[in-house]
Structure 1
Amino acid sequence: MKERRWITITGRLRKGYRVASGPSRAYPEYGSIEKQKPFFKKLGLNLDRMFNGTLNISIAPYEFEMKNPAFKFQRVKWTELTNAETFSFSPCKVKFDGKVYSGWVYYPDPRTKRDHFQSPSTVEVLAPYIAGIKYRDKVELSLDLGEIEIFHPNSRRRRQGRAFFD
């Protein structure tokens, strides 16, 4: 089993497009996560225990880049309403109100996504339902540095380790 190199950063929950949890103008019959889950399960990633929506966690002023995800699914045609997309997933942990929830960083590749783009400082997370969480709440987000790189956009150096954020 792969050893994880966790880094923890404080983030703040922000409002997303509400497409993942839906229904929305883009997908009036369903939320995108609910519709995508069976495709990901067939490809080897079971997300049944995850809430049908994403936590949009701002880590500003930092940004992230998916480098070596645990799962990468290319050209997934999950609906007729949009083009096939590439999705990456990396395990993560969200700590809120003293409780830790295991989840997944959900990363639809912007190069294959037609709309609903996220800021590079927003990490989309699939997690179990978290009672009481709301927009603007602070959370601690733990990410695997072997899979995701965290950096300050104004710095040429990309550091690893908790000291970078202290």
Structure 2
Amino acid sequence: MRNDPTSWRWLPGRRVPGHGVASGGAADSPYPAGTIALQAPFFRARGVDLSPYFQGTLNVDLAPHLPPAVRPVFDGRLRWFGELEERFLLMPVALRHAGIVHEGLWYYPHPETKPAHFQRPTVVELLLPFIPDLALQAQVEVGFPGAG
């Protein structure tokens, strides 16, 4: 773990479906390769390697909780698709399911620059290694460092 997980704030949540745009799974996506695959080289050029993670997001609804404020490891603007420029925040995060902790990043395209496919305020989009057999609606916990 990057930090002592006992000092993290863990919130219960459940896996919910996303829009399928990050992974490229949506039939009507303007980004058939998926936004994560398209953005990865731009993040890498700015010092953030997304290669350990599945090229899509795992969405978790923390309702009734809102995600806490977490210090980002990346806060910047990327011009990643034509003239489309977005501000992204990436924060360290962990997901706990079936007794296993998976480290990753909370992927937050800032709503002020995001063109479409918005999430409810209680939903976090996570970049994690692929987790087999994690069903939709599965109960999980999401850990946020420094948010105790």
Output the TM-score relative to the length of structure 1.
0.80
Q: 1:42 — aligned with what? A: 45
1:32 Cα deviation after fit:
0.6
Q: 1:59 — aligned with what? A: 62
Structure (1 or 2) with the larger CA radius of gyration: 1
Paired residues of 1:105 and 1:126 also in contact (CA < 8 A): yes
CA offsets 1:105-163 (integer angstroms, 9 cap, x no match): 000000001111111100110000001012100111101235xxxxxxxxxxxxxx4xx
State how far apart, in whole Å, the 2-side matches of 1:141 and 1:67 are.
13
State how far apart, in whole Å, the 2-side matches of 1:100 and 1:7 are.
14
Q: Does 65-74 or 40-49 show the bigger shift?
A: 65-74
Q: 2:127 — aligned with what? A: 126
Q: 2:100 — aligned with what? A: 99
Which residue type is aligned with residue 22 of structure 1?
G
1:64 Cα deviation after fit:
2.5
1:42 Cα deviation after fit:
0.7
Which residue type is aligned with residue 112 of structure 1?
T
Task: Give the counterpart of 2:13 among 4, 11, 14.
Answer: 11
The reply on whether 1:73 has 2:76 as its aligned counterpart is yes
Label 1:55 to 1:92 Cα distance change in 2 as closer, same or farther (>3 A): same
1:29 Cα deviation after fit:
2.8
Question: What is the correspondence of 1:107-118 to structure 2 with a 5 Å cutoff?
Answer: 107-118=108-119
Structure 2: runs of 5+ lacking an equivalent: none
Which residue type is aligned with residue 90 of structure 1?
M
State how far apart, in whole Å, the 2-side matches of 1:39 and 1:48 are.
12
Q: Percent identity?
A: 35
State how far apart, in whole Å, the 1-side matches of 2:30 and 2:110 are.
19
CA offsets 1:39-80 (integer angstroms, 9 cap, x no match): 101101111010011011000011125453121122x11112
Q: Count matched residues.
A: 144
Structure 1: runs of 5+ lacking an equivalent: 147-160, 162-166
